[in-house]
Amino acid sequence: MTAGEDLLTVYAEAFERDADPEDFSLDAMIAHECGHQILARHARIAPRMAGVSEVSEEILASLLGAMLCHDDNDRFTLYAKAAAELIDRGVSAESANRQLQELWNLFEVLL
């Protein structure tokens, strides 16, 4: 099977996780779920995901989703979601932004 033949299956629970459905556009939600698929299936990324926590996976999926979005607002919203997850874990806003930029650059190399 080639990448062009891939299908994306998104379960309803993926949409139920967010408290307010108005927080994210449908495109942003799908991009986030595609981020999860990339983490699980990409030949250069998936092997690096062993032992990554659920929270870390959410952060990475949001960041990848932001990279996939064409709409600036969706990109910003998913990037902010990733940053908020880090900040909720005690990381300063400055450090969260720096870490996300480093991950963004790494993903650009890997993808």
**Quick check: 26 pLDDT over 90?**
no
Mean pLDDT computed over 6-30 = 67
Could you report the per-residue pLDDT of 38-97, keeping only the tens digit for each?
Answer: 999 999 999 989 899 999 999 999 999 999 999 999 999 999 999 999 999 999 999 999
Q: How far is CA 73 from CA 25, 27, 54, 78, 111, in A?
A: 9, 11, 25, 9, 23
Report the mean per-residue pLDDT for the chain: 86
pTM over 0.95: no
Termini Cα distance of the chain:
19
Distance CA 7, CA 4 (A): 8
